[in-house]
Amino acid sequence: MVLLLMGCGVQKNVDFKNEKQVRNQNSREMVGCVDEAKSFDSTHDFPYENMQAVSDEVYEVLKDAYGKMDFSVEFKGGNIEDNSEYIYAGLKRTEQEMKKIDEHFDPHEYIYYVFDMDGDSLPEICVWKYMTYIFKYDAEEDKVHLWHEIKSPWEQVFGTNKLGWNWEGVRCSMCRLDQNGDTVSGVCFMEEAAWSNGKETFLVTMPFDLSDDQKFVWTEKMENEAYYSREDDLFFFPVTKEQYQELTKRFYESETLTDQERKKVGYTYDELSGKKMCEQCTKMKAIYL
């Protein structure tokens, strides 16, 4: 089986669910270099049956890029006892802000992940129930602001400065954010079957890092082996199934670790408030933590 490796980079505030926002200076410069015969209106039009796996030389470039990608996971500052007063004050303001977002907000129906999300050594409060609202508390002004919002149940916090996405294995991504919540590096994977006559195809982005534009560099040989989708403004590289598994395995290892570590920094509303657990909080803890 031949699979596809999708090469791209990213802009700030990238939404991994919309790959049209994902760009890289190296790949953008290639648009005029790709053979017209390998340039298509969309991935729907790709000649899947005739695609050949990339050369060993190109695969080694891709493998090197994935080896440099940061898939590490760490939930820093997750001990709430170290910042109990700070967290309690932030929780009260967070509850007020959530009621502005949802007038029917019931704090007992949510899980709260409390850890240093932005890497500034102080904990943020991540309010989760299918979607996630990450609040940062300003003790001097005694108010919170919405630092980052995750609008999909498939995307989750993956530790300090990290977000991850897994839509039942069909689409996955992992990215690193800066202290402002802007995307600075990441990678994305997709499984395609609908537009390839039922043939299972996997699409994976070339890793990107905005903080180091020389970290992931395309080669001239990649120009000849890329398939370009004008609709997505993205380049694709066919690889074998074994190569695909090699490139993506560290992401899935990180996801498994994340699921374990995230529960350690998860709390119910009553736990954070220092109250006796109500029936609803007890239920939430039993199901999700």
Which residue, 264, 261, 269, is CA-closest to 90? 269
Edge-to-edge strand list for the sheet holding 227-229: 2-7, 234-240, 227-229, 39-40
Give the pLDDT of residue 271: 94
On the 0-12 / 13-18 / 19+ scale of CB atoms within 10 A, 271 is: middle
198 touches 12 (CB < 8 A):
no
Give the pLDDT of residue 6: 46
Give the pLDDT of residue 193: 67
CA–CA gap between residue 147 and residue 136 (Å, rounded): 6
Which residue, 205, 244, 232, is CA-closest to 39? 232
124 touches 80 (CB < 8 A):
no
Give the pLDDT of residue 23: 42
Neighbours of 179 (CB within 10 A): 12
Beta strands in the chain (DSSP E): 2-7, 39-40, 111-115, 124-129, 131-138, 143-150, 155-157, 162-167, 171-177, 183-192, 201-204, 208-209, 227-229, 234-240, 266-267
Q: How many CA atoms lie within 13 A of 49 on its CB side?
A: 2
125 touches 135 (CB < 8 A):
yes
Query: For every one of its 289 residues, what pLDDT tens digit does the chain have, with 9 covering 90 and above?
Result: 555 554 433 333 344 433 333 344 445 455 555 667 689 898 778 787 777 888 999 889 889 999 999 999 999 987 788 888 999 999 999 999 999 999 999 999 999 999 999 999 999 999 999 999 999 999 999 999 999 999 999 999 999 999 999 988 877 889 999 999 998 988 878 777 666 677 777 777 778 888 887 788 888 888 888 888 788 666 788 888 888 899 999 999 999 999 999 999 999 999 999 889 999 999 999 999 9
Model-level pTM? Answer: 0.83
CA–CA gap between residue 88 and residue 94 (Å, rounded): 10
